[in-house]
């Protein structure tokens, strides 16, 4: 399989009894085979792979049944809200409104789960993330916040299988899709998973982003990192590195976004799922001036399954979360940039790839009928990603102080967003 198709969900590693491992996690981060897989194991791994294939319509029906609200961009939804956890500690610690951590803490407190599969920064290697099973509120809170470097959560499948109790699971769309595939064949590793939650997903970055960020500040050795945060402090937060030398490096999130075009995981550009469509509940940032100006974190929350809706209804009744319903059109408009990238851009990119003879994922559906200007816009975006992803471009950007390149990036992004606003919003909802 073409490596661009691998979303690094980690299922192949988790299912392989040690025969497949990820190589070079601070580099290309690709799975490597160390021996022979039995036919049965190879078939199972192939089935679980969501990078190669995930039939959206089939799994939509399997997961949520019929008679459902559905939009091609958001996936299945019961209700869409803007809100936040009412627990100030959870909200302050979290990526946006603390909805995901808040729900997990509530599920645990009410004994609806005994643990949660989450992603935290490693204690031994604080520059790397690692999946684990949280069994206390403190552990749930320790995993809050978004980690923007590659995460392979499903490596933990053997531990999930051994866990004695009910679990919630949090993952990115490719990881969730793989879990849904395993649930469909009643695979034992996933039988404990009762609830699936997940963040929205624009993209992830290679670890080279962290190395490059450090180099720009004159620090060459990433093993000197003591703590790494991607969204530290007041929403939307800062990228922050604390070094063993006590030096602290911090850059506002919107400026640190300059790293995206230089270090993006190519698979992010082949993913068509922005809002984590196969979760029971998913959460993203509430990107709108009215919320951004208030400073504190606000999330967009989508309830999709009956049990997901029940959780939110009970939490509202118990005054644990604040949620205001919004209409689907408002939700799509708020994330028009992301939906355009995923639901239009990806299909155009896949068309270009097909012309070049490159393999594409099979999602069981396609979107088409875009304007000529949208195709042209995609050419510009793709050229930018290709050029900025090269070694010389990465080398050069490290010579510019991040607060300068970050500022330039943010301004250019605003100009680009304004000038492409009409093309992106055309017939969006
Ligand atoms: C890689 C990535 C890209 C994102 N892109 C967008 C975007 O384009 N637009 C948007 O609106 N929102 C995006 N988000 C979501 C956003 O950053 C918040 O995670 C979301 O709003 C939920 O906020 P919260 O306060 O409820 O979550 P929190 O309460 O902070 O909980 C976050 C949960 O997500 C888990 N988690 C964090 N990082 C990862 C990861 N890499 N892999 C698996 N699990 C993880 C943690 O274990 C934690 O349980 C992205 C998140 C990630 C991780």
Domain spans, the chain: 55-429
Burial of 292 (0-12, 13-18, 19+ CB in 10 A): middle
DSSP-assigned beta bridge partners for residue 196 = 169
d(CA 373, CA 87): 46
User: For residue 418, what pLDDT is reported?
Assistant: 83
Q: Per-residue pLDDT tens, the chain, 429 aa: give them.
A: 788 999 999 999 999 999 999 999 999 999 999 999 999 999 999 999 999 999 999 999 999 998 889 999 999 999 999 999 999 999 999 999 999 999 999 999 999 999 999 999 999 999 999 999 999 999 999 999 999 999 999 999 999 999 999 999 999 999 999 999 999 999 999 999 999 999 999 999 999 999 999 999 999 999 999 999 999 998 889 999 999 999 999 999 999 999 999 999 999 999 999 999 999 999 999 988 888 777 789 999 999 999 999 999 999 999 999 999 999 999 999 999 999 999 999 999 999 999 999 999 999 999 998 999 999 999 999 999 999 999 999 999 999 999 999 999 999 988 888 888 777 777 665
Atom of ligand 1 nearest to the CA of 284: 21
Separation CA 292–CA 286 (nearest Å): 8
Q: How far away, in angstroms, is 145 Cα from ligand 1 center?
A: 6
CA–CA gap between residue 272 and residue 51 (Å, rounded)? 11
Q: Is 232 in the pocket of ligand 1 (CB under 6 A)?
A: no
Q: Give the separation between CA 422 and CA 419, rounded to whole angstroms.
A: 7
CB 165 within 8 A of CB 133: no
Q: Is 119 in the pocket of ligand 1 (CB under 6 A)?
A: yes
Could you list the beta-strand ranges (E) of 137-222: 167-170, 193-199
pLDDT score for 428: 63
pTM of the shown model: 0.97
Q: Which residues contact 208 (CB under 8 A, 6 or more apart)?
A: 26, 27, 263, 394
Please name the residue whose Cα sits nearest to atom 14 of ligand 1: 200
Ligand 1 centroid from CA 293, angstroms: 21
The rounded Å distance from CA 18 to ligand 1 centre is: 28
Does residue 204 line the site of ligand 1, with CB under 6 A? yes
**Helix, strand and coil percent figures for the chain, each rounded to 5:** 45, 20, 35
Cβ atoms of residues 338 and 123 within 8 Å: no
Dist. CA 262–CA 12, nearest whole Å: 27
CA dihedral (357, 358, 360, 366) positive or negative: negative
* Phi then psi dihedrals of residue 190, to 5 deg: -110, 5
Residue position matching structure tokens 């504190």: 296
Roughly how many angstroms between the first and final C-alpha of the chain, as a whole number?
A: 35
pLDDT at site 289: 80
For a ligand 1 pocket test, name from 74, 95, 339 the mutation site with the most ligand atoms within 8 angstroms of its C-beta. 95
Q: What is the pLDDT of residue 417?
A: 82
251 lines ligand 1 (CB under 6 A): no
Q: Nearest Cα to 342, choosing from 288, 292, 402, 284?
A: 284
Between the CA of 345 and the centroid of ligand 1 the distance, in Å, is: 22
The secondary structure of 46-89 as a DSSP string is: HHH-TTTB--HHHHHHHHH-SS--EETTTEE-SEEEEEEES-HH
**Ligand 1 centroid from CA 198, angstroms:** 7
To test the pocket of ligand 1, the residue of 98, 113, 199 to mutate (highest count of ligand atoms within 8 Å of its CB) is: 199
């Amino acid at each position: 399989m073409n490596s661009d198709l691998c979303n690094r969900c980690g299922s192949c590693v988790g299912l392989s009894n040690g025969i497949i491992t990820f190589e070079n996690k601070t580099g290309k981060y690709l799975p490597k085979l160390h021996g022979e897989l039995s036919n049965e194991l190879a078939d199972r791994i192939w089935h679980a792979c969501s990078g190669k294939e995930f039939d959206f319509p089939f799994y939509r029906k399997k997961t949520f049944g019929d008679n459902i609200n559905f939009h091609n961009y958001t996936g299945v939804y019961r209700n869409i809200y803007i809100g936040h956890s009412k627990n100030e500690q959870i909200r302050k610690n979290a990526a946006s409104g603390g909805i995901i951590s808040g729900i997990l803490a509530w599920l645990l407190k009410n004994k609806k789960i005994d643990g949660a599969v989450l992603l935290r920064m490693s204690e031994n290697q604080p520059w790397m993330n690692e999946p684990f099973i949280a069994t206390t509120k403190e552990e749930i809170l320790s995993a809050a916040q978004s980690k923007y470097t590659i995460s392979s959560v499903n490596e933990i499948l053997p531990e999930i299988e051994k866990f004695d109790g009910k679990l919630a699971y949090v993952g990115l769309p490719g990881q969730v899709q793989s879990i849904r595939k395993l649930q469909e064949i009643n695979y034992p590793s996933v039988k404990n998973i009762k609830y699936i939650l997940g963040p929205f997903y624009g993209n992830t970055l290679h670890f080279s982003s962290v190395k490059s960020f450090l180099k720009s500040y004159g620090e060459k050795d990433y093993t000197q990192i003591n703590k790494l945060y991607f969204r530290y402090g007041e929403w939307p937060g800062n990228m922050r590195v604390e070094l063993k030398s006590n030096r602290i490096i911090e850059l506002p999130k919107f400026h640190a976004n300059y790293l995206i075009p230089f270090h993006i995981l190519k698979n992010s550009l082949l993913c068509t799922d922005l809002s984590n469509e196969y979760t029971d509940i998913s959460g993203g940032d509430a990107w709108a001036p009215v919320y951004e100006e208030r400073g504190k974190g606000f999330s967009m929350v989508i309830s999709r399954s009956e049990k997901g809706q029940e959780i939110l209804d009970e939490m509202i009744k118990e005054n644990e979360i604040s949620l205001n319903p919004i209409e689907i059109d408002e939700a799509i408009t708020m994330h028009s940039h992301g939906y355009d990238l995923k639901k239009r851009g990806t299909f155009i990119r896949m068309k270009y790839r097909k012309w070049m003879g490159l393999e594409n994922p099979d999602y069981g559906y396609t979107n088409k009928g875009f304007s000529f200007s949208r195709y042209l816009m995609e050419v510009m975006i793709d050229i930018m990603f290709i050029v900025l992803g090269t070694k010389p471009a990465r080398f050069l950007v490290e010579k510019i102080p991040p607060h300068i390149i970050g500022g330039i990036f943010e301004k250019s992004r605003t100009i680009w967003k304004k000038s492409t606003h009409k093309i992106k919003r055309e017939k969006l909802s």
